């Protein structure tokens, strides 16, 4: 990919991001804590990265707007509809990963 034009690379990366977000929007059964425990990032991380990119380029985007872009609906609505209480094992895994600096 090093030979690609910067514009083409950016377009491909943007397409991959959109596909990842669309995939996560359909996989509401996958909890954020599971994503964090397995991959070290979750939907909230993606929305935070989107907001940070907007801030870096001077694009006006609120935290709520970035979360809605990732979740496909307002964050509070997603939580009420899809988020479950984390189990003791999920919480322990999260705590262990945080202690490692992940």
DSSP 72: S
Q: Among residues 28, 33, 30, which one has the least CA distance to residue 93?
A: 33
Token pair listed for 6: 């910067």
What per-residue confidence (pLDDT) applies to 99? 84
Residue ranges, the chain, pLDDT below 70: 1-2, 102
What per-residue confidence (pLDDT) applies to 100? 81
Encode pLDDT of 24-43 as tens digits.
Answer: 999 999 999 999 999 999 99
What per-residue confidence (pLDDT) applies to 1? 65
What per-residue confidence (pLDDT) applies to 70? 98
Q: How far apart are alpha carbons 80 and 97 in whole angstroms?
A: 26
């Amino acid at each position: 990919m090093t030979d690609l034009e910067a514009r083409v690379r950016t377009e491909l990366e943007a397409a991959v991001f959109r596909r990842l977000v669309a995939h996560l929007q359909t996989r509401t059964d996958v909890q954020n804590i599971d994503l964090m425990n397995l991959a070290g990032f979750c939907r909230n991380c993606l929305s935070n990265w989107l907001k940070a990119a907007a801030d870096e380029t001077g694009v006006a985007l609120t935290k709520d707007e970035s979360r809605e872009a990732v979740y496909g609906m307002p964050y509070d609505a997603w939580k009420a509809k899809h988020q479950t209480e984390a189990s003791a094992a999920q919480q322990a895994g999260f705590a262990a990963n945080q202690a490692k600096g992940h």
